[in-house]
């Protein structure tokens, strides 16, 4: 039910979300919510560590302290530090770089690459913050970011709403008032990146603009804390946001439990086709040489990707159904954990990708975005056709990746960027965080 203020008028969406974020208390969370927080932390640092060697990440690490100043927050794994603003820019860039980061179905985007770098940067800056406050702040970020993403009247890439998630995360950790959070949400609504071109079509280091959204949210909160105001009514505008969607079951089971985790480093729209092909490969003992062609049947959002059979950049490869399927068949599933530049310009992969087509299936369309399934038809060289069942990707809450699988993901994804000693230190650090100690994880990140 909408909440009313003292005058009897319905409180704005911004103030209701602000009150909710400010009032979250980790002591009231069940063990499943705490476990979800730790899984999100584990997955985000695995994604961030895997992206360390990418040119865009190197550029962000170089520029972030120049833009936002020095400080004690670690720029993950490089030994450098910066202000909280610098750390969230650099570390969110790394986390989003290889499309390994978590996502949320109703948001149609990626909250973890915004929330986790912001929360961990604040832990470095606030030495006396409790683990309970950290957990509550992460939950607040997912709550507010996902709700406002889902409430938008039109789809927008994650950077358009990741600032909301950062406002809630950092606001809760700093203990600011609900009104300050509300003002910051309104400021972020007006200052978020516009992102006029779909990331899956354009392809660049900008991707979905998550780091740009993160720093817009950070700036919005700092402005609101200093007394700057925003147009809070913007979140009540029915042309822009659905208030019912934003506030549905507010105060119920925390949304963070609905997060999905990726088994492959590519756009989520590609995961179901990958799972379907791997299913047929295992069932029939297929090799890539047995296959003359593949048809992928899917929903329309998959066509928001460039789907180039011969991608020129790593980002373009992350947004190509044909290239990812061909690479998986020729090199194995771990070749996508993550994609790396050495896998581009491979003539055999490109040739096979050229024999893979993506087709819209009207029967699948109504299932999206609640699900993101696909089916594939594989034609063998002898002419036989093999059809997969309708397949959903692993990692959704109803097909979860186990903690052991997430730990393996960290080891595989960072095999070229971290030593086994540092990998184990990160896993031990997450375990220590479960016990209420944050020092081991911060040391590993540094």
DSSP state of 297: E
The continuous run of DSSP H or E covering 295 comes out as strand 291-298
Q: Which residue bears the tokens 């979800």?
A: 36
- Given this model, what pLDDT does residue 79 score? 83
DSSP state of 178: H
- Given this model, what pLDDT does residue 127 score? 84
Provide the residue-wise pLDDT of the chain in tens; the chain has 446 residues: 455 554 445 689 999 999 999 999 999 999 999 999 999 999 999 999 999 999 999 999 999 999 999 999 999 998 899 999 999 999 999 999 999 999 999 999 999 999 999 999 999 999 889 999 999 999 999 999 999 999 999 999 999 999 999 999 999 999 999 999 999 999 999 999 999 988 998 889 999 999 999 999 999 999 999 999 999 999 999 999 999 999 999 999 999 999 999 999 999 999 999 999 999 999 999 999 999 999 999 999 999 999 999 999 999 999 999 999 999 999 999 999 999 998 998 999 999 999 999 999 999 999 999 999 999 999 999 999 999 999 999 999 999 999 999 999 999 999 999 999 999 999 999 999 999 999 999 999 99
Torsion, Cα of 86, 149, 270, 280 (10° steps): 130
- Given this model, what pLDDT does residue 11 score? 83
Q: What is the CA radius of gyration of the chain?
A: 21
Cβ contact 386:284 at 8 Å: yes
- 393 — phi, psi (to 5°)? -75, 150
How many other CB atoms sit within 10 Å of the CB of residue 254? 21
- CATH architecture of the domain formed by 268-387: 2-Layer Sandwich (3.30)
The continuous run of DSSP H or E covering 413 comes out as helix 403-413
What distance in Å separates the CA atoms of residue 362 and residue 352, rounded to the nearest whole number? Answer: 26
SS3 state at 360: strand
What distance in Å separates the CA atoms of residue 206 and residue 190, rounded to the nearest whole number? Answer: 20
Give ranges for CATH 3.30.1330.120 in the chain: 268-387
**Domain covering 13-260, topology:** 2-methylcitrate dehydratase PrpD (1.10.4100)
Cβ contact 230:236 at 8 Å: no
How many residues make up the chain in this entry? 446
- Given this model, what pLDDT does residue 7 score? 44
Cβ contact 41:131 at 8 Å: no
- 391 — phi, psi (to 5°)? -125, 135
What distance in Å separates the CA atoms of residue 335 and residue 115, rounded to the nearest whole number? Answer: 27
């Amino acid at each position: 039910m909408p909440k009313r203020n003292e005058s009897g008028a319905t409180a704005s969406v911004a103030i209701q979300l602000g009150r909710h974020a400010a009032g979250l208390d980790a002591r009231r969370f069940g063990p499943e919510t705490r476990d979800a927080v730790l899984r999100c932390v584990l997955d985000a640092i695995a994604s961030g560590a895997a992206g360390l060697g990418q040119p865009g990440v190197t550029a962000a690490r170089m520029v972030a302290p120049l833009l936002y100043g020095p400080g004690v927050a670690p720029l993950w794994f490089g030994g450098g530090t910066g202000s909280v603003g610098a750390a969230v820019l650099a570390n969110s860039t790394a986390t989003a770089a290889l499309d390994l980061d978590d996502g949320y179905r109703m948001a149609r985007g990626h909250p973890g690459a915004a929330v986790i770098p912001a929360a961990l940067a604040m832990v470095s800056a606030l030495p006396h913050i409790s683990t309970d406050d950290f957990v509550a702040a992460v939950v607040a970020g997912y709550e507010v970011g996902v709700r406002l993403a889902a409430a938008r009247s039109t789809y927008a890439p994650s950077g358009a709403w990741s600032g909301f998630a950062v406002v809630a995360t950092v606001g809760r950790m700093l203990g600011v008032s609900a009104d300050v959070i509300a003002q910051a949400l309104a400021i972020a609504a007006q200052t978020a990146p516009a992102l006029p071109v779909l990331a899956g079509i354009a392809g660049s280091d900008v991707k979905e603009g998550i780091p740009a959204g993160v720093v817009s949210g950070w700036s919005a909160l700092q402005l609101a804390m200093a007394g700057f105001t925003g147009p809070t009514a913007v979140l009540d505008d029915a042309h822009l946001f659905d208030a019912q969607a934003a506030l549905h079951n507010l105060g119920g089971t925390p949304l963070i439990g609905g997060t999905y985790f990726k088994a492959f480093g590519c756009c989520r729209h590609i995961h179901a086709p990958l799972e379907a092909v791997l299913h047929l490969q295992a069932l029939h003992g297929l090799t890539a040489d047995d296959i003359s062609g593949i048809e992928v049947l899917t929903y329309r959002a998959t066509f928001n990707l460039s789907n180039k059979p011969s991608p020129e950049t790593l980002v373009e490869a992350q947004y190509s159904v044909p290239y990812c399927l061909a690479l998986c068949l020729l090199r194995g599933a771990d070749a996508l954990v993550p994609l790396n530049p050495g896998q581009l310009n491979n003539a055999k992969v490109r040739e096979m990708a050229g024999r893979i087509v993506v087709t819209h299936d009207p029967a699948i369309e109504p299932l999206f975005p609640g699900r993101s399934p696909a089916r594939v038809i594989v034609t063998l060289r002898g002419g036989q056709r093999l059809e997969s069942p309708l397949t959903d990707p692993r990692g959704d809450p109803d097909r979860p990746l186990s903690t052991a699988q997430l730990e393996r993901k960290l080891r595989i994804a960072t095999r070229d960027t971290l030593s086994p000693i540092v990998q184990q230190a990160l896993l031990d650090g997450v375990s220590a965080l479960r016990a209420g100690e944050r020092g081991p994880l911060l040391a590993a990140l540094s």
